[in-house]
């Protein structure tokens, strides 16, 4: 198998069998490491925040009580880690197949993740931590801006208004929020289930940090469909986090914003160049347009498409 990381694999004793993913931020290889079926994850150091994501991933795999796979080794030049391969199917695929799913097992693991408490801070202070990410995405989007494209400019204006909206909503929330361990990219593709529909582990911890549990639960349930409501009811019934509609709505709106910014800034990435991804992002942008009084029926797909 041809790989740009052949020398690294040789040096650390990883025998590759397949390339699982080649993204802008990292590369995933399936192979053998000391007689164990494993995943090698190598970060692209040329990408902003790659180092930070490596450290977040590593911290989670070294963390206690988190539903991760077993960390086998890690190193530098470039940053890499190896973890045990876990047989299973993503929650997303199981739902699409109409398979029986034990949602209680998923809730148990996200509740366990959120049980790692840290401190508290204002919502305004917490949201301010995302400013470097937001500024970076807006710079990239504005570099790609077509001068005469009114549809693009309408979407850009809506996103700027949405940033102001989130900043104002954060300032208006007077109570400090609890800071806990969060996954940071809690979606059904990152939840691995066994054949019986029982949750085994969560994967892709590179966005994990100490933050609000509402960041995770709003991402998993932002569609607002029946399944989302089932997950929400089970999560808040567990009693680990008190239901707060204001916080939930805030983080749903932040998630829409994050998805739109990420895609428009990096829509040339291979992972973003597929019709399903484009439809999902377009639906998020339409919700933002509608919230701020813009026509949601404009040709968003044309702007979102690579």
Any domain includes 199: yes
Among residues 38, 65, 84, which one ends one of the domains?
84
Please tell me the total count of domains within the chain: 2
pLDDT band at 146 (very low <50, low <70, confident <90, very high): low
Same domain, 147 and 195: yes
Residues 149 and 278 in one domain: yes
| 166 lies in some domain | yes
Asked which of 29-43, 135-149, 253-267 is least confident by mean pLDDT, the reply is 135-149
Q: Does 143 fall in a domain?
A: yes
Query: Among the three residues 60, 84, 108, which one is the final residue of a domain in this structure?
Result: 84
Q: Is residue 1 part of a domain?
A: no
Same domain, 115 and 72: no
Q: Contacts from 186-191 at CB under 8 Å and sequence distance 24+?
A: 186/110, 186/215, 186/216, 186/217, 186/219, 186/220, 187/92, 187/219, 187/220, 188/90, 188/91, 188/92, 188/95, 188/220, 189/90, 189/91, 189/92, 190/90, 191/90, 191/91, 191/92, 191/106
Print the domain residue range for 116.
89-304
Do 98 and 73 belong to one domain?
no
Q: What is the pLDDT of residue 269?
A: 61
pLDDT (0 to 100) of residue 273: 64
Residue 272 pLDDT > 60 = no
Whole-number mean pLDDT of the chain? 91
pTM of the model as a whole: 0.90
- 141 shares its domain with 226: yes
Kindly state whether residue 247 falls inside one of the protein's structural domains.
Answer: yes
CATH number assigned to the domain comprising residue 70: 3.30.200.20
Q: Are residues 125 and 243 in the same domain?
A: yes
Q: Is residue 43 part of a domain?
A: yes
Asked whether residue 271 carries a pLDDT value surpassing 60, the answer given is: no
- Distance between CA atoms of residues 234 and 45, nearest Å: 40
Averaging pLDDT over each range in 50-54, 258-262, 263-267, which range is the top one? 258-262
Q: Are residues 109 and 210 in the same domain?
A: yes
- Same-domain status, 224 and 210: yes
CATH code assigned at 114: 3.90.1200.10
Judgement on whether residues 43 and 122 belong to the same structural domain of the protein: no
Same domain as 96, residue 63: no
Domain finish residue from 63, 84, 105: 84
In terms of domains, do 57 and 197 share one?
Answer: no
Q: Is the peptide bond before 78 cis (omega within 30 degrees of 0)?
A: yes
Among the residue ranges 48-52, 167-171, 263-267, the one predicted with the least confidence is 48-52
Q: Are residues 106 and 138 in the same domain?
A: yes
């Amino acid at each position: 198998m041809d790989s740009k990381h052949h020398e690294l694999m040789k040096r650390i004793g990883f025998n590759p069998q397949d390339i699982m993913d080649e993204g802008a931020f990292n590369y995933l290889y399936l192979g053998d490491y000391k007689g164990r079926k494993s995943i090698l994850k190598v970060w692209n150091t040329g990408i902003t925040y790659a180092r930070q994501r490596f450290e977040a991933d590593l911290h989670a795999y070294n963390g206690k009580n988190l539903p991760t796979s077993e960390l086998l080794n890690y190193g530098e030049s470039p940053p890499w880690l190896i973890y045990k391969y876990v047989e299973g199917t993503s929650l997303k695929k199981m739902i699409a197949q109409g398979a029986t799913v034990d949602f209680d097992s998923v809730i148990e693991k996200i509740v366990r993740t959120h049980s790692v408490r840290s401190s508290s801070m204002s919502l305004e202070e917490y949201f301010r931590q995302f400013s470097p990410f937001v500024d970076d995405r807006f710079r990239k989007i504005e570099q790609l801006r077509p001068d005469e494209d009114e549809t693009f400019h309408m979407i850009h204006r809506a996103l700027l208004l949405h940033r102001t909206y989130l900043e104002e909503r954060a300032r208006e929330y007077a109570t400090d929020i609890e800071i806990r361990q969060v996954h940071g990219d809690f979606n059904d593709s990152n939840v691995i289930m066994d054949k019986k529909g029982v949750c085994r582990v969560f994967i892709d911890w590179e966005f994990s940090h100490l933050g609000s549990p509402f960041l995770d639960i709003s991402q998993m349930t932002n569609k607002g469909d029946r399944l989302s409501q089932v997950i929400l009811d089970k999560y808040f019934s567990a009693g680990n986090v008190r239901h707060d509609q204001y916080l939930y709505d805030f983080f749903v709106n932040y998630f829409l914003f994050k998805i739109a910014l990420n895609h428009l800034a990096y829509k040339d990435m291979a992972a973003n160049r597929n019709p399903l991804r484009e439809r999902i992002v377009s639906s998020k942008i339409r919700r933002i347009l509608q919230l701020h009084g813009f026509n949601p029926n404009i040709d968003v797909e044309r702007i979102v498409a690579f």
